[in-house]
Amino acid sequence: MRCRIGSIAASVVVLVVAAGCGDAKDAEPTDKAAKCDKGGLSTDLDIPGPGKPLPEEAVEPYLDAFVVVSVQEDGENATVTAEAPGSGALRVYDLTRREDGWWPDGYTEC
């Protein structure tokens, strides 16, 4: 029973509503990804491996109707920004590079 509970818990996707931050008087963000910094729906991903060679390949199974518009790598971390055509909705994926490739940690949708 303990093993079964552990495997169920490992496959759970947790939804958390991110609290908005900043004041209305703050300047508008200049890039698309910065818009999600003001708040949105965050989803943590707990997925099976292995990792993928490229960040955009790692998020592909989680894109749904979204299309990748930018990839930014910074050492062992990456951010993939995807947009839903025609709706203006964005998803910003956070990834970590591990021994076997890139892993998506989660995303924020706004």
CATH assignment at residue 97: 3.10.450
Q: What is the pLDDT of residues 61-108, one digit of tens each?
A: 999 999 999 999 999 999 999 999 999 899 999 999 999 999 999 999
**98 domain residue, yes or no:** yes
Q: What is the C-alpha radius of gyration for the chain, rounded to an integer number of angstroms? A: 15
In which domain, by residue range, is 49 found? Answer: 13-21+30-109
**72 domain residue, yes or no:** yes
DSSP H or E stretch at residue 55: helix 55-59
pLDDT of 36 = 73
Compute the distance between CA of residue 77 and CA of residue 85 in angstroms, rounded to an integer: 26
pLDDT of 73 = 97
pTM of structure = 0.67
Q: How many domains does the chain have?
A: 1
**48 domain residue, yes or no:** yes
Whether residue 15 has pLDDT greater than 60: no
Q: What is the pLDDT of residues 38-60, one digit of tens each?
A: 678 898 988 888 899 999 999 99
Q: What is the pLDDT of residues 64-73, one digit of tens each?
A: 999 999 999 9
**5 domain residue, yes or no:** no
Q: CB–CB of 108/44 below 8 Å?
A: no
